[in-house]
Amino acid sequence: KKRVLGATFIGGMYAVGEMYLGAVAMFLKSWRPLLRAIFAPGLLAIFLPFIVPESIAWLAAKGKHSEVEKVYKRMAKMNGLENTQIPLSIYEELNATNTEKKPEIKSSSVPVREALSRPKLLIRLLACCLCWLTNTFVYYGMSLNAVAFAGDKYVNFILVSLVEIPAYFLSWLLIDYVGRKPTLSGSFLFSGIFCLAIQFVPKDSWSYAPLLLYMGGKGCITMAFAAVYVYTTEMFPTTARHFLLSICSMTGRIGSILAPQTRLLATVVASLPLILFGTMGILAGVVSLVFPETLGIKLPDTVTEAENIGKPKRTKDKNIT
């Protein structure tokens, strides 16, 4: 129930890290101490394996019920319910899940290959990869190009990062109450519109108008980033979810690699990076319409369940002969 809130909170911390980078760079002009200052907090990640437990859904799908019990007991202890007996209904549900999934798991020794053999899931994966590539390309490209606006480049970078915090909060509300598909598609489309709209701002207009439109575009692509993480994990089966998510994320890294090169495009035509960001944002917004809505749907454990997401359930009419 708190999956979206957790994802948006983590994203908000990412924005805090960006502002931290801008603030530190403002005072540390040399790149050597700057690198030390921004990478030192990363050492805390060493303790993550001892703090974060394995996914219960994944453990249950793999039939590791003893590990599931350990995680439940740890959760009870952290919530002050150490002496509370774990309800029998949980064990019954796990046993039922294990019994129902055995035939499919047995017939598919390689769940990823099974998932990719289904045309619907393959198309879904390719569309996800395009959305991830666009997201990282536009997101990081806009972060890096923020210093090109008039004014203090450090302040501009911090402002463009600051807008992400309300964007993540808004994405949490939209994802949970409006839906995954309209949030993702709408965020992509509006990010593209904001980027393209900057080209039509008159030269003699208010000097901060382009920066405000730019911040609007950055906020929208941030909401798309928050939505695509949640959306991707909900469209694929548990047995192949992490691998397929890693494929999408890996494709996204292509966008983050290409993003710094957009500064070079600006030397040819100043508005070329924004035109590229806007065009790709609108394209991704249209492509994301192929995804099924996953709001309120249980995470699919099997390939068949993932394939049937969004498919209307047929009810048998007894009057039909």
Residues 65 and 154 in one domain: no
Give the pLDDT of the chain (321 residues) as one tens digit per residue. Answer: 676 777 778 878 888 888 999 899 998 888 899 899 888 888 888 888 888 887 777 777 677 777 877 887 777 777 777 666 666 566 566 656 555 554 444 444 467 888 888 888 899 999 999 999 999 999 999 998 988 887 788 998 999 999 999 999 999 889 888 999 999 999 999 999 999 999 888 766 667 888 899 999 999 999 999 999 889 988 988 888 888 999 999 999 999 999 999 988 888 888 899 999 999 999 999 999 999 998 888 888 888 888 888 776 654 444 443
Nearest to 132 by CA among 188, 193, 190: 188
Residues 62 and 173 in one domain: no
pLDDT given at position 91: 56
pLDDT given at position 93: 62
3-state secondary structure of 15: helix
Residues 62 and 48 in one domain: no
Count CB atoms within 10 A of the CB of residue 162.
18
At position 232, the amino acid (one-letter code) is T
Q: Measure the CA–CA gap between 7 and 11, rounded to whole angstroms.
A: 6
Q: Which domain holds residue 87?
A: 56-107
Residue 320 forms part of a structural domain: no
| Residue 146: DSSP 8-state | G
Q: Measure the CA–CA gap between 277 and 304, rounded to whole angstroms.
A: 36
Give one DSSP letter per residue of 213-245, joined into a string. HHHHHHHHHHHHHHHHHHHHHHSS-HHHHHHHH
Residues 81 and 141 in one domain: no
pLDDT given at position 206: 61
pLDDT given at position 250: 94
> How many domains would you assign to the chain?
2
| CA-CA-CA-CA dihedral for 270, 205, 194, 222, to nearest 10 | 90
Residue 32 forms part of a structural domain: yes
Q: Measure the CA–CA gap between 299 and 59, rounded to whole angstroms.
A: 14
Residues 241 and 292 in one domain: yes
Cβ burial 80-99 (10 Å sphere, 16+ → b, else e): eeeeeeeeeeeeeebeebbe
pLDDT given at position 28: 87
Residues 78 and 200 in one domain: no
Residue 321 forms part of a structural domain: no
We report the CATH number of the domain holding residue 234 as: 1.20.1250.20
Residues 66 and 127 in one domain: no
Residues 144 and 272 in one domain: yes
